[in-house]
Structure 1
Amino acid sequence: MTDSHSAPQTLTRLALITTLTIAISGCISDYGNDDCTSDDLPPVDNFWLGIDQTDVTFIAFGDSQFGGGAEDKNDLHKIAINQADVQLHWDTFGINAPVSNIRGIIMNGDITQNGRDGRTLSENEYKGFTDIYGLCGNRDVKFPMFEGYGNHDFFEWSNIGYRLLQAHPVADSVSVRNQYRVGLANTAPDKNGHYSWDWDNIHFVQLNLTPSDVDPNHEVPGVRNPRMALTFLKQDLAEHVAGTNKKVIIMSHYGPWETFEWDNEQIDTLYDAIKDYPVIAYLHGHSHATSAYTWNGIPVFNVGSPYYLNYNSDERGHYSVFRITDSKLYAYDVSWNPNNPMALEFPDNWTREIDL
């Protein structure tokens, strides 16, 4: 015989469990992938010169970081980026030609400020990213996105909706979006999110947080775990570059200098992994600023960010534009005025012309 008092209590417990399950379940319903499919013909085919010929133009920046900094920084940044093939040109290098045939945008980590996707009444920072940047040129920004996650994309705060499930939905989102990107050569397993692709004779490798296998094992599981990025890089280069004449560009959120758990021992291990390959550039974000320098003879580009307050003494947002041919790498810094983001300054802080 059923106790007349136990049934309501059981129902109450079930209702509570159901409510909690709904509340803490993943909230990302929009990955910005509407009208995007990996089965599409790559738009880069329209710009392809032919076998063993290279002419690749792309944009790069880091730290969109929705939920941090000035609230309007990405709204302004999108306007400035969409002007790239309208205003920019290569005259500074003695090339009488506009910036054109932009293959896509490489975004070097920190999609959000806190790794929040809206669950349990938290701010939906990720929605801001997908609304503006989309995936395949399908939202406010007109160029395809090739983003990675950074240290801010791991959730490490007190919120049952994330902590109970050990959830890092923004970091995980890169692996989901990889299913819809066109022309990828390789993707990492599970939710690791690393991926690579070829534009002409250049092999690009997106390594997200940092090129390391070292899990820092924080109190909050998974925080700032590079998810076997170094292993992916080694396997990818061995499979897709070794024995070819391809040149290589690697990218991650952290650059080749110590920060958080990313130390000199890991940085030296990275160099050992790539030193026998023709790496022509290392792109990174993290500092919110912009610069160009070298590391062990490899050109390194800190590619700028939308942060016009703090970090940039000129109080302007920044991104970088690149053109790579068979024999040259051209690059320069572009900045925009927050009072008029269509007022671009270029080249601004730096230019590079590198023989390949």
Structure 2
Amino acid sequence: MFKLYLPLGAMLIAASLSGCSNINKQSTNQSINQDVIQAVDTGCGSTDTTTFESYISGNWQSGHPVQKLLITSDPQPYRYYRDDGSNDIGEPIWRNTMSVIMNMMNTQRSGSEYFPLIINGDLTEFGHGNERRSFREQIVKAEGSQKGPLFLPGLGNHDYANNVNDCANNGCARDAVCDHIIWTKTIQNKSSGVSFDHSVKKEGNETVHRGSLAYSFDIGNLHVVQLNLEPTYTVNFHTGDPIAGTRFIISSSMAWLENDLTAAKARGKYTIVNMHKYGNWKDDSVRTGKFADLVKNNKVVGIFAGDIHLDLGKIGVLGKVPVFRSGALMNKTWLRLLFDWNNHILQVDSYQHVTHKGEYKYNIDTFAELAPPPARTVKVKLYSNNSFGGTLCEMELTPGAMKTISKLCPGFPQRAGASLKVTGLSGPLCLTVPYTLNNRCFRGTYSGTFEVPNLTAWPSLPAGVTHTRGGIDNGYKQINY
């Protein structure tokens, strides 16, 4: 047990979070709050982080007839992807990419319900302090309308596995693990029924953390499991004073997982399992053996993994259970899950930024795939001037289209004063400038034609159609559907 001193008067509270010190508390706005919590102990030395505690309140675990979740992975500062699929490291471009995708996540999480955001590992490239700070600065932009965990974390190989004995004093692995412990323990303390495979206590002269760091929680009819890197991973590492420092003994999560899934099934829950690596486990025979048996026998309806940055959506099955890649934030890819509890259907939609890349819909009892409805095209008339004047660019788009306006209509003027007519909207239609926050999106379903006489002004739209963001000074570069 250690004590936390808050600079909000003379308040003293006791806590048993993790053994990580110098924790900076984040407010619910998108800037770093200067209210600082200082923890004095011997557990994690000079680790500094943010609890994100103030985001969590209310009954965020309540269920809804249609339950929506967002799953992604690999923000991995400062790596980013180019349009051609190549990748590089550069902080300014990474920050710009993250701002775009985090603001889009904020839009996706708007509404009258709390929508979880799960990140399946590789929150950093090397576990360095500047990378961890940059992630914290960006993730606050993904805050939704309703109170609940800002995000649900997972650990990947770039967070801890790659960094053991490969960073001074094992500080990179220590800090990544301490981040995870603090964030998860905070969620556990502010929520109901969160199971966390972790303990910390003094053993002789050392402070020792034990467990797989896996955790789980319920939200409505759904049970969500996070296994971090993969369930057979183990490692033992030390940091700090050679005699009286801190030790982390990371164990396999398989025993914990068996108990957790059995208990969830007994409560009548359906389960999704998250991790970073789906293949190449420390003991890969477990994946098709014991792990597959647990999945088969305990109402697991989906497995979600990160790690492979260019993979997205369904990649196979384990037995009958679909396996999905959750994309990579650095590539602006992610999944949206919609659980229709009345009909026992799960729909998994794949996206790159706002562009729909695919859909997989199935019955969660039989795993029978349900055919998606036929694609509906949208007709767009884009005018270079307000009030439908100037040059006209006409196009017909199918879902998943991402078109460069200058290629569709060579010579089309790029200016702020544009207008638009849309016929047959059946999904998100966005005018964008890639890698910036400059976009105007229209969402909903409308079989008729609606008109936007000025893309820089607040439009009057028919019932069932909404819009996000606003106009820009120099026109739009792409149109996505």
TM-score of the pair, normalised by structure 2 = 0.52
1:250 correspondence with 2:261: no
Higher relative contact order (CA 8 A, sep 6+): 1
User: Residue deviations 1:223-275, cap 9 Å, x none?
Assistant: x986322122112123x3243321111111111x225x352344423112332
User: Residue deviations 1:304-328, cap 9 Å, x none?
Assistant: 11233xxxxxxxx211101112211
1:128 correspondence with 2:134: yes
1:306 correspondence with 2:306: no
> Contact conserved, 1:211 with 1:226, CA < 8 A, in 2?
no
Which residue of the partner structure matches residue 313 of structure 2? Answer: 291
> Contact conserved, 2:170 with 2:238, CA < 8 A, in 1?
no
Q: Output the CA distance in 1 between the equivalents of 2:61 and 2:238.
A: 44
Which residue of the partner structure matches residue 170 of structure 2? Answer: 162
Which residue of the partner structure matches residue 102 of structure 2? Answer: 78
1:110 CA drift (Å): 0.8
Which residue of the partner structure matches residue 194 of structure 2? Answer: 185
> Contact conserved, 1:210 with 1:226, CA < 8 A, in 2?
no
1:309-348 paired onto structure 2 within 5 Å: 317-326=332-341, 327-336=344-353, 344-346=354-356, 348=357
1:147 correspondence with 2:153: yes
1:198 correspondence with 2:225: no
Percent identical pairs in the alignment equals: 18
SS in 1 for 2:329: coil
1:35 correspondence with 2:54: yes
Which residue of the partner structure matches residue 311 of structure 1? Answer: none
> Contact conserved, 1:61 with 1:318, CA < 8 A, in 2?
yes
1:355 correspondence with 2:356: no
Supply the AA of the counterpart residue of 2:322. P
Change (3 A) 1:180 1:281: same
Which residue of the partner structure matches residue 258 of structure 2? Answer: 234
SS in 1 for 2:68: strand
Change (3 A) 1:131 1:334: same
TM-score of the pair, normalised by structure 1 = 0.69
User: Residue deviations 1:18-44, cap 9 Å, x none?
Assistant: xxxxxxx7443222425245xx32334
> Contact conserved, 2:76 with 2:330, CA < 8 A, in 1?
no
1:158 CA drift (Å): 4.5
SS in 1 for 2:100: helix
Q: Output the CA distance in 2 between the equivalents of 1:151 and 1:76.
A: 25
User: Residue deviations 1:58-96, cap 9 Å, x none?
Assistant: 10101111233352332222122223257xxxxxxxxxx
> Contact conserved, 2:164 with 2:173, CA < 8 A, in 1?
no
> Contact conserved, 1:162 with 1:168, CA < 8 A, in 2?
yes
Change (3 A) 1:145 1:184: farther
Question: Is the radius of gyration larger for structure 1 or structure 2?
Answer: 2
User: Residue deviations 1:194-216, cap 9 Å, x none?
Assistant: 2111111111111111122x536
Supply the AA of the counterpart residue of 1:84. Q
> Contact conserved, 1:283 with 1:302, CA < 8 A, in 2?
yes
Change (3 A) 1:100 1:219: same
Which residue of the partner structure matches residue 73 of structure 2? Answer: 62
SS in 2 for 1:147: coil
Supply the AA of the counterpart residue of 1:30. T
SS in 1 for 2:349: strand
Q: Unpaired segments of 5 or more residues in structure 1?
A: 1-24, 87-98, 119-123, 134-138, 309-316, 337-343
SS in 2 for 1:237: helix
* Root mean square deviation, CA, Å: 3.1
Structure with the higher helix share, 1 or 2: 1
Supply the AA of the counterpart residue of 1:345. T
Q: Unpaired segments of 5 or more residues in structure 2?
A: 1-43, 81-88, 145-149, 200-208, 240-245, 365-481
Q: Output the CA distance in 1 between the equivalents of 2:359 and 2:67.
A: 17
1:219 CA drift (Å): 12
Structure with the higher strand share, 1 or 2: 2
SS in 2 for 1:354: strand
1:112 CA drift (Å): 0.8
Q: Output the CA distance in 2 between the equivalents of 1:44 and 1:30.
A: 25
Supply the AA of the counterpart residue of 2:60. P
1:282 CA drift (Å): 0.5
